[in-house]
Structure 1
Amino acid sequence: MKVEYCKCSMAVSTQGMSSSKRKNIIRTIVDVLIWLAASFVAFYLFTFGKPYKNGFFCDDKSISYPSLQESISTPVLVAIGFTVSILVVVFVEILNRLEKTSKPQCQLRQVFERCVKNYLVFLIGFLIQELFVDGIKNKMGILRPNFFDVCKPQYNTSLCPGYISEYRCTGNDEKQIRSSRQSFPSGHSSFSMYIAVYFCIYIEKRLQIRFSKLLKLFLQTGLIFAAILCGLGRIIDNKHHPSDVLAGFILGSIVAIVVVSNVLNLSFNSKALDQHYILWSNCVQTAEKTANEKRDYLQSESETSDYCVSCERPLDNDLEKPSPILETDFYQGRDIERNVSSKQLIEIQNNNHQTVSLS
């Protein structure tokens, strides 16, 4: 570490740190309020949103499939998704800590803070993709493949084989009837692909190991493969059209890339951040040590030791204070001049006495 980097003046300490903490607290509160407001909107759209009522053709076979039991329900998918995301973040940080060749080694507190921050960024992206999915679902009102079986519509059959815009669902499950008009895009596909792409980039940027070259590749491949299987399962269960699943994959991927590019990249260069943190800590410690030594010197009025010139300048009082050695030389000089003057006076008086006696 170069000494020039230690130019972190003591002004960084008390007042500056308190002001920075205050700004961070205010920023955090504002961000939390925004996130909560967006979460409320997403929850309302998901639970109470009314999809657009589209019509259908009487002989449309794409919405005539039977209703099947879901392979992965929405609560199960959310639980699995959040569990996998937590495990990936923790697993990556543990591998980084076990890697002896990756320097600098982070403390346990730093690892925990980084895990929390990265997971909060993941939650932001999850909320964004959920807002897009629910908003598009309700706006488009695309009918699911099992619409006829779930809705059991009653309509004027004399209009067939034309387009039916006026009909009434006679099914018993109102929740399923509402869901039968929310086919595009696939929420399962979007959420699963968002997790896959997000953590593929996260693993590529954050995981720093040298004991294996294939671990990254297999972790990333496993995430993408799981997301694809989830989307294909929605087609097999007659819950979505292939276009719905493809749109969900694209939407989840775009949101993950945008979130990583704009938010998570701030903490990706962890090695540089760790080095900066270490240098900053050393500089602060050096400055504090120098201040303590300076205070001890002023109290004891002893000789000063060498200080880090780049961290702070000597006090003006020290420059104005005369040296004890110079003071001693000054007073000794005055005594010598006083003695010389006395001797000259005595010699003059003796000469006068001699002159008087001779006369």
Structure 2
Amino acid sequence: MAGGRPQLKRSFSIIPCFVFVEGFFCYDSTYAKPYPGPEAASRAPPALIYALVTAGPTLTILLGELARAFFPAPPSAIPIIGESTIVSGACCRFSPPLRRLVRFLGVYSFGLFTTTIFANAGQVVTGNPTPHFLSVCRPNYTALGCLPPSPDRPGPDRFVTDQGACAGSPSLVAAARRAFPCKDAALCAYAVAYTAMYVTLVFRVKGSRLVKPSLCLALLCPAFLVGVVRVAEYRNHWSDVLAGFLTGAAIATFLVTCVVHNFQSRPPSGRRLSPWEDLGQTPTVDSRLEKNPRPAGRIRHRHGSPHPSRRTAPTVAT
């Protein structure tokens, strides 16, 4: 309107939508499995899993580095690039085996922390219910207006988004909404992948070639059993377990390949040559003129004389 106050136009299209709707379908059999009890009552309790993923790889790396220090490999198998000893003050001396041990264990601890953060963040963001969600939620279907399944309606008929729909314990309901990805599966996969790559890349076994593959398969069995237990006890779906396995294995692969460089030693300068720098160090070929320099008496001035590199023919007396 002319002469009046201009009308303000509001647009909500630029506001990002990060609101995740938490709800469930009435009478959904996927989430109506019986409640298996607290996590401590599981056949694979979290305390046991945390102890195994902490102690198992630590002991393996410790034994591997001690064997490498006291039983060194032959000179042909030792990498060309080695590490130097660091002396800090008059009392502290960090030998190459100690530096390798601290580096590998430090990276492994960082990976455990990262895997836990990724799994917890994924569970909070997705809010995917566990198979026993409705057993701990205990919704009042009559008050919510949900109709029971019938031959005409074999599946769920309504999606409930009411925040007060659950009459169960709030702590159990909150825990039952954190299923994807499975944190226990992610930690087991990370520990197994890191340890298996360490065994494959560092251990040197004479004789049969099946020793290291058999050891790696033996390490994979406990992680697989943890996933089976989580699904059998109705604590997670198969999709949650597979997502946890992929998360842990991806983090372990990244740290081994990009951070510790396949468990190889660092150069003394603390910097590894890039492939372009390595290609740049090509062998040099000496010039024939440099090998056979011309005597000083044969070199003349530029003006009125032939080129210094031009050789005159010798005169023959007749």
Range of TM-score over shorter length: 0.5 to 0.7
For 2:223 and 2:244, locate their aligned partners in 1 and report how far apart those are by CA, in whole Å. Answer: 11
Q: How many residues align?
A: 223
For 1:269 and 1:212, locate their aligned partners in 2 and report how far apart those are by CA, in whole Å. Answer: 24
| 1:245-266 CA distance string (max 9 Å, x none) | 111111111111111121011x
Q: Corresponding residue for 2:115?
A: 129
Q: Corresponding residue for 1:206?
A: 202
Q: Corresponding residue for 1:190?
A: 186
For 1:234 and 1:66, locate their aligned partners in 2 and report how far apart those are by CA, in whole Å. Answer: 14
**Is 1:268 matched up with 2:263?**
yes
For 1:110 and 1:59, locate their aligned partners in 2 and report how far apart those are by CA, in whole Å. Answer: 62
Against the structure 1 CA distance between its residues 212 and 102, is the aligned structure 2 distance closer, same or farther, given a 3 Å change threshold? farther
For 2:96 and 2:134, locate their aligned partners in 1 and report how far apart those are by CA, in whole Å. Answer: 55
- Which of the numbers 61, 66, 69 marks the counterpart of 2:29? 61
For 1:154 and 1:53, locate their aligned partners in 2 and report how far apart those are by CA, in whole Å. Answer: 20
For 1:181 and 1:218, locate their aligned partners in 2 and report how far apart those are by CA, in whole Å. Answer: 38
- TM-score, normalised with respect to structure 1: 0.56
**Is 1:92 matched up with 2:78?**
no
**Is 1:158 matched up with 2:126?**
no
**Secondary structure of the corresponding residue to residue 250 of structure 1:** helix
- Which of the numbers 229, 235, 257 marks the counterpart of 2:231? 235
| 1:90-146 CA distance string (max 9 Å, x none) | 122233345454446999943333222101101122222222111111011000001
**Secondary structure of the corresponding residue to residue 208 of structure 1:** coil
1:330-341 paired onto structure 2 within 5 Å: none
For 2:160 and 2:33, locate their aligned partners in 1 and report how far apart those are by CA, in whole Å. Answer: 18
Q: Corresponding residue for 2:49?
A: 77
1:85 deviates by 1.5
For 1:93 and 1:115, locate their aligned partners in 2 and report how far apart those are by CA, in whole Å. Answer: 7
For 1:204 and 1:186, locate their aligned partners in 2 and report how far apart those are by CA, in whole Å. Answer: 27
1:171 deviates by 2.4
For 2:103 and 2:72, locate their aligned partners in 1 and report how far apart those are by CA, in whole Å. Answer: 24
For 1:121 and 1:239, locate their aligned partners in 2 and report how far apart those are by CA, in whole Å. Answer: 30
Conservation of the 8 A alpha-carbon contact between 2:104 and 2:263? no
Against the structure 1 CA distance between its residues 102 and 236, is the aligned structure 2 distance closer, same or farther, given a 3 Å change threshold? farther
Q: Corresponding residue for 1:220?
A: 216
1:66 deviates by 0.8
- Which of the numbers 128, 131, 134 marks the counterpart of 1:148? 134
- TM-score, normalised with respect to structure 2: 0.63
Against the structure 1 CA distance between its residues 101 and 148, is the aligned structure 2 distance closer, same or farther, given a 3 Å change threshold? same
For 2:206 and 2:226, locate their aligned partners in 1 and report how far apart those are by CA, in whole Å. Answer: 32
In structure 1, give the amino acid aligned to 2:176: S
| 1:210-250 CA distance string (max 9 Å, x none) | 35533322221112221111111110111101111111111
Q: Which has the larger radius of gyration?
A: 1
Conservation of the 8 A alpha-carbon contact between 1:54 and 1:165? yes
For 1:250 and 1:60, locate their aligned partners in 2 and report how far apart those are by CA, in whole Å. Answer: 28
For 1:63 and 1:236, locate their aligned partners in 2 and report how far apart those are by CA, in whole Å. Answer: 14
Q: Corresponding residue for 1:326?
A: none
1:154 deviates by 3.5
Structure 2: 5+ residue runs without aligned partners? 1-18, 86-93, 148-156, 271-318
| 1:253-310 CA distance string (max 9 Å, x none) | 1111111121011x7223x859x99xxxxxxxxxxxxxxxxxxxxxxxxxxxxxxxxx
In structure 2, give the amino acid aligned to 1:82: T
Conservation of the 8 A alpha-carbon contact between 1:65 and 1:148? yes
Structure 1: 5+ residue runs without aligned partners? 1-50, 278-359
**Secondary structure of the corresponding residue to residue 168 of structure 1:** coil
* Percent pairwise identity: 23
**Secondary structure of the corresponding residue to residue 122 of structure 1:** helix
In structure 2, give the amino acid aligned to 1:205: L
Conservation of the 8 A alpha-carbon contact between 1:65 and 1:149? yes
Q: Corresponding residue for 1:30?
A: none
Q: Corresponding residue for 2:290?
A: none
For 2:259 and 2:57, locate their aligned partners in 1 and report how far apart those are by CA, in whole Å. Answer: 17
Against the structure 1 CA distance between its residues 221 and 175, is the aligned structure 2 distance closer, same or farther, given a 3 Å change threshold? same
1:23-34 paired onto structure 2 within 5 Å: none
What is the root-mean-square deviation in Å for CA atoms of aligned residues? Answer: 2.8
Conservation of the 8 A alpha-carbon contact between 1:52 and 1:181? no
